[in-house]
Amino acid sequence: MDFLTIIQVLDSTVRLATPLLLACLAGLYSERAGIFDIGLEGKMLMAAFFSAAVAAVSGSVWLGLLAGIASSLVLSGLHGLASITFRGNQLISGVAINFLAAGMTVLIAQDWFKQGGRTPSLFAGGRFEPINFPFAEALSGVPILGPIYSELLSGHSILVYLAFLAVPGTWWVLYRTRFGLRLRAVGENPAAVDTAGVSVVGLRYAAVAICGVLCGIAGAYLATALQAGFVKDMTAGRGFIALAALIFAKWRPWQAMWACLLFGLLQAIALRFQNIDLGGVVIPVQVMDALPYILTVVILAGFVGKAIPPRAGGEPYVKER
């Protein structure tokens, strides 16, 4: 494997890690506030469809992004209604949202575009174009650093940079602002937050809304940057890999980035090489597919450092108690 191949694999790692990272941070806000969210997949899928559909019709990718975020927010609102207002089971609500998105996207796509549950392919203007850093072309000849700069760092769409900037952003919000402190507190001990006179319901809705916005961006990235248009079930389990990454990272932002990069790398390797030959031992491609999930189970089992979720996670808050 030569240097350029490594750079290319890492480059596609960044591309593939981006939707995972956005969804993972989305889940982080929600779960840190005590609302389990296994509906990340559904929200991404819904956003992927609406962003592609609106971008295809209007020709503007930015309108597409807004539509994607809005549709994801609607599902977030539903999740909030079920799990915060009506104190329902958050896991069941997540399952329902995943199915709702899987069904509605194809239903609407078929009704609007009649192309077998997909949107028309997006052309220039309907997609997020790569941003080339200054002098990327000129510096590509420089050994080692040149390809790293021009191939790996430069030439991604704006959403990629946004996703990676969201990591320090999330860290700052979570650990350096009053809102973040309250958010974490409401996931650990909502009664204490309530006693302090802060609205548990308000905070949790805010967290679920942030989750919706980030999932919306993740879905829009899938349909309008990574690919050119929506196809049925295009999230392909990414929402669950993001959930796995979140547990892998033990609900912390920087670690979430590394976990998503790791899982993105696994996907990139599986895409580029089918079966990997390691000195006579062939690793089948299916192992790469399953590895994120296996690693997550190992982490969950607590054999390699214990993953302890926010204490009030999954529990509806009842004020009268």
Partner 1 sequence: MERPLKMDKMPKWADVVLIPVISLILAAILSALVIVAIGEDPVEAVNLMVTGALGSTYGWGYTLYYATNFMFTGLAVAVAFHARMFNIGGEGQAMLGGLGVAMVCLYVPWPHWSLALLAACAGAMIFGAAWAAVPAYLQAKRGSHIVITTIMFNFIAAAVLNYMLVNVMRPQGSMDPASARFPEAVHLPTLHELLAPIGISFSKAAPANVTLLVAILACFVVWALIWRTRLGYEIRAYGHSETGALYAGISPVKITMIAMLISGALAGLMATNNVMGEAERLVLNSTEGAGFIGIAVALMGRSHPFGVFLAAILFGFLYQGGAELALWTSIPRELIVVIQALVILFTGALDNMVRMPLEKMFLAMRKGKA
Q: Based on CB atoms, which residue is closest to partner 1, 152 or 232?
A: 232
HEC sequence for the chain = CCHHHHHHHHHHHHHHHHHHHHHHHHHHHHHHCCCCCCCHHHHHHHHHHHHHHHHHHHCCHHHHHHHHHHHHHHHHHHHHHHHHHCCCCHHHHHHHHHHHHHHHHHHHHHHHHCCCCCCCCCCCCCCCCCECCCCHHHHCCCCCHHHHHHHHHCCECHHHHHHHHHHHHHHHHHHHCHHHHHHHHHHHCHHHHHHCCCCHHHHHHHHHHHHHHHHHHHHHHHHHHHCCCCCCCCCCCHHHHHHHHHHHCCCCHHHHHHHHHHHHHHHHHHHHCCCEEECCEEECHHHHHHHHHHHHHHHHHCCCCCCCCCCCCCCCCCCCC
Please report how close the Cβ of residue 269 comes to partner 1 at its closest, in angstroms: 15
Q: What track of x and - describes contact with partner 1 for positions 1 through 30 (by CB under 8 A)?
A: ------------------------------
Q: Applying CB under 8 A, does 97 fall inside the site for partner 1?
A: yes
Please report how close the Cβ of residue 314 comes to partner 1 at its closest, in angstroms: 8
Site for partner 1 in 57-76 (CB under 8 A): none
Q: Based on CB atoms, which residue is closest to partner 1, 147 or 264?
A: 264
Q: Based on CB atoms, which residue is closest to partner 1, 120 or 146?
A: 120
Q: Applying CB under 8 A, does 302 fall inside the site for partner 1?
A: yes
Q: Applying CB under 8 A, does 82 fall inside the site for partner 1?
A: yes
Please report how close the Cβ of residue 283 comes to partner 1 at its closest, in angstroms: 11
Residues that contact partner 1, how many (by CB under 8 A) = 45
Q: Applying CB under 8 A, does 50 fall inside the site for partner 1?
A: no
Q: Applying CB under 8 A, does 99 fall inside the site for partner 1?
A: yes
Binding site for partner 1 (CB under 8 A): 38, 78, 81-83, 86-93, 95-100, 102-104, 106-107, 110-111, 117, 237, 240, 243-244, 247, 284, 286-287, 289-290, 293-294, 296-297, 300-302, 309
